[in-house]
Structure 1
Amino acid sequence: MGSQAVIPERLEPLAKEQIEFFHEHGYVLFKKGCSSDLIDAFNGHIRDIRSVAAEEMPEWVKPRKAGEVLDKDRFSVRLFNPHQHDGFSRQVMKLPVIRGALAQLMGDEAVCVQSMYFYKEPGSPGQAAHQDYYYIKDDPKTMVAAWIAMEELVDEENGCLWVIPGTHRLGLLPHGAVKDLEEHEAYTHETEGIDLKAQIPVVMEKGDILFFHELLIHSSNKNRSKDRWRRSYVCHYIRQDSMVLHREDLRVKYPLY
């Protein structure tokens, strides 16, 4: 008989009040969920990945923007799905505190389907208000994002996230062309039919983790700081019995144990 894998016990990092807050508002901020030392090491590791000579870059590493690979984009174009190729990225993806919190929010074990490392250097645009479900549809709807702050401070000046509490209850809203191209990236889409004056900023410190529902309307603005980056690592998770629809590139489920 073959030996069975030992599945480690899950943590339960969220208090009852935090779980209730998530279900009522669509998000919850978990303070200091990731250590500063780990973040420093991960930031350095990701920088090294993009620092190699262009001809030595694997395809998944290349800073591709609108189909074109330019050297100037090494540390501006987000790194898509590093968890699919890189062991360190997978380890951060499945931090025990994240695994435990997601199980508390979903009611069962979570699996990862997408990851992104954002650089967001000074002067770079943000992403217009949107719902993640518009880009990644899953059945049943269970997706939750875990957004880790990789800087000492992520605030309004360097492009923090903004959320509209409670909008996860509205269902999927129409999305159209981005309106403010000075503020936001042009190649994404923007939620329509919602009053953006209800947005509030989520100021985060290094190691904080923001968990938010796939239908929560959220955005970020331009990094207006002179010398402060806004690096972050965000992974999208679904419950283990859920499936990603229409996206062949995100069909593989990565367990968190």
Structure 2
Amino acid sequence: MITTKENRLSPIKDEQYKQFERDGYLLIKKGCSSDLIDAFNGHIYDIRNQSEVPAWAACEESKKYSLRLFNPHKHDSFSRQLMKLPIIRGVLAQLMGKEANCVQSMYFYKEPGSPGQAAHQDYYYIKNDPMTMIAAWIAMEENIDIENGCLWVIPGTHKLGLLPHGAVKNLEEHESWTEETEGTDLSKQIPVEMEKGDILFFSELLIHSSNKNRSQNRWRRSYVCHYIREDSFVTQREDLRVKYPLY
């Protein structure tokens, strides 16, 4: 187990660092093992399959296996261990220049037919100072593609600063309770298709989205954690003020 800063992993090369700086995102192939993902998917299922679901994971009975699970890392040791994957810790430290702390986690189910999230920037929802936040998005299915609702990104938009956000326009495609960036040229977005165990790192200002899961029987499960540099702080969200170190 990695316990000190001195033996922290350094997984990415200079060209990958430069790509992240240029595009605002970086895809690491097979960063998490298939066995670990299978165990975690089963673990999350078991949490909500109990006769008495813990309060932090509770939801309507009909949505037990479809409604996303917010901040499992705050309550569940397995979720914290996945949050602390050595490769994630190492990549984030290289991109940020210092150790990272986790402030939010989400487990997405995204069953067939469920909507996606309209184009947005994460900083709009999680203000932090200084601005250092990076998400690590782990693919928890064999294939995450256009049909079952993969992420779409607009390379380089992390350099635009925070853009205005407004009401979601396409409610057939996207959730209604979030907001979307305004004045964005969506013709420039590209899909990020992923395989099981791939990890996508992306900037808090990168414009990204997902579409409806149009598959007949394929889910699009993912585990997403948001990290800030150890000397940064969340400024406007009391529920995300606690920081979780990765070592």
Which category of TM-score, normalised to the shorter sequence, fits these structures? over 0.9
Residue 148 (structure 2) aligned to one of 138, 150, 158: 158
- Structure 1 equivalent of residue 227 of structure 2: 237
- Structure 2 equivalent of residue 25 of structure 1: 23
Query: What is the correspondence of 1:84-163 to structure 2 with a 5 Å cutoff?
Result: 84-163=74-153
Matched, 1:77 2:67: yes
Count how many residue pairs are aligned between Structure 1 and Structure 2.
245
> CA-to-partner distance for each residue in 1:184-221, whole Å, 9 max, x for gaps?
00100011011111100000000000000000000000
Residue 208 (structure 1) aligned to one of 184, 195, 198: 198
Matched, 1:7 2:7: no
For 1:243 and 1:116, the matched residues in 2 are separated by: 19
Residue 15 (structure 1) shift: 1.1
> CA-to-partner distance for each residue in 1:143-177, whole Å, 9 max, x for gaps?
00000000000000000000000000000000000
> CA-to-partner distance for each residue in 1:109-164, whole Å, 9 max, x for gaps?
00000000000000000000000000000000000000000000000000000000
Matched, 1:58 2:54: yes
2:237 partner letter: R
1:41 partner letter: A
Normalized against structure 2, the TM-score is what?
A: 0.98
> CA-to-partner distance for each residue in 1:211-246, whole Å, 9 max, x for gaps?
000000000000000000000000000000000011
Gaps of 5+ in 2: none
2:132 partner letter: T
CA-based RMSD: 1.0
Query: What is the correspondence of 1:42-57 to structure 2 with a 5 Å cutoff?
Result: 42-53=40-51, 56-57=52-53
